[in-house]
Structure 1
Amino acid sequence: MRKLVKVAILSALLALGGCAAMMRTPPVPGDTLEVVRAKFGEPTAVHALPPGQVLEYATGPYGQFTWMARMGPDGKLLAFEQVLGDVGFGRIKIDKSTRADVMATVGRPAERSYLALSDLEVWSYRYKESGVWNSMMHVHFDRAGIVRKMISGPDPMYEEKRGFFRD
């Protein structure tokens, strides 16, 4: 029993430590690449985009936040923003955006799946819709890697589980 309590406390502390890492003071435009990395550590991904690069700081697969640090060609921060939300998803253009565009816009998905009947690959992202509702955005790609549709719905991870013996 004592061992179980110790494991539970250690797990809680580690989880809170991970959350605290993302609660740091955000970098400000003009900060250098070294300052951004000093504040947030190594990014989960780096995307090369004109005019510079984008550093991705994801909290997935169960997190609802991904921060993107957009760096200029001079190595200075242009913008630092949380992209999993209405504004970030609004930048994805149906019938135009590619997998690479989506990855550089909102980062890596929480889940990937395939719909055989419609022959579409689906990337799913957890987020807070309107900053309130636990939701998932499903981005559907055709075989060529072009976004064909986007569907938002409730995140099943937060839905009440109903079973055979429960109402």
Structure 2
Amino acid sequence: MKLTTRFLSTVFLAIGCGCTTLFPAAVNIGDSEQDLIAKRGQPAHRYKDGGDQLLEYPLGPWGQKTYMARVGPDGKLISFEQVLTNQKFASIKVGESTKEDVLRTVGAPVETSYLSLTDLEVWSYPYKESGVWNSVMHVHFDKAGIVRKMLNGPDLRFDPDRRFPFGGL
């Protein structure tokens, strides 16, 4: 009986610890940057946007969510939003936006590649298109770092018809 109680205690402790990572503490507008970091940890990246700081928090093993925290010059949280969305991607202007603009809008890419025939660098962002479909947005940059095109399509990691969905043989 003691062994069963000890086993169950260990299982419940493990579940309890896991919940803190699965469900991080809520952040509130007006929180200090120190409060934000205490609740969410150190950001993956920081970007300057005028007088504000943007703190990037990518989430999940599939990389489909990235939260961007905007902290004002006074060190207080102005906004905290999920940025891998149709609306945010639509705000990136082809022929105008730069790599820095894209980083401040949707954060760092999950993957980068280079297309030698078109001489374009591609940044790829897995996301839930319209909050439903497993998709990837590909942002193409020329040598000057200007967005030249954007293409989205299905995230093949989730395609049940692919024989080797994760690149293995």
TM-score interval, smaller chain? 0.7 to 0.9
Alignment of 1:1-167 (within 5 A): 17=18, 21=21, 23-59=23-59, 62-163=62-163
Number of aligned residues: 149
Q: Which 4+ residue blocks in structure 1 deviate beyond 3 angstroms?
A: none
Query: TM-score scaled to structure 2, two decimals?
Result: 0.81
Q: Which moved more, 1:49-58 or 1:131-140?
A: 49-58
How far the C-alpha of 1:81 sits from its partner, in A, is 0.2
Question: 2:10 maps to what in 1?
Answer: none
SS at match of 2:140: strand
Inter-partner Cα distance in structure 2 for 1:35 and 1:152: 36
Q: Which amino acid aligns with 1:26?
A: A
Larger of the two Rg values belongs to structure: 2
- 1:71 and 1:153 map into 2 onto residues whose CA distance is 33
Quickly say closer, same or farther: Cα 1:162–1:70, change in 2 above 3 A: closer
Secondary structure of residue in 2 paired with 1:114: strand
d(CA) in 2 for partners of 1:122, 1:133: 21
Q: Is the 8 A contact 1:61 1:109 kept in 2?
A: no
CA distance in 2, matches of 1:21, 1:75: 25
Give the letter aligned to residue 47 of structure 1: Y
CA distance in 1, matches of 2:131, 2:146: 28
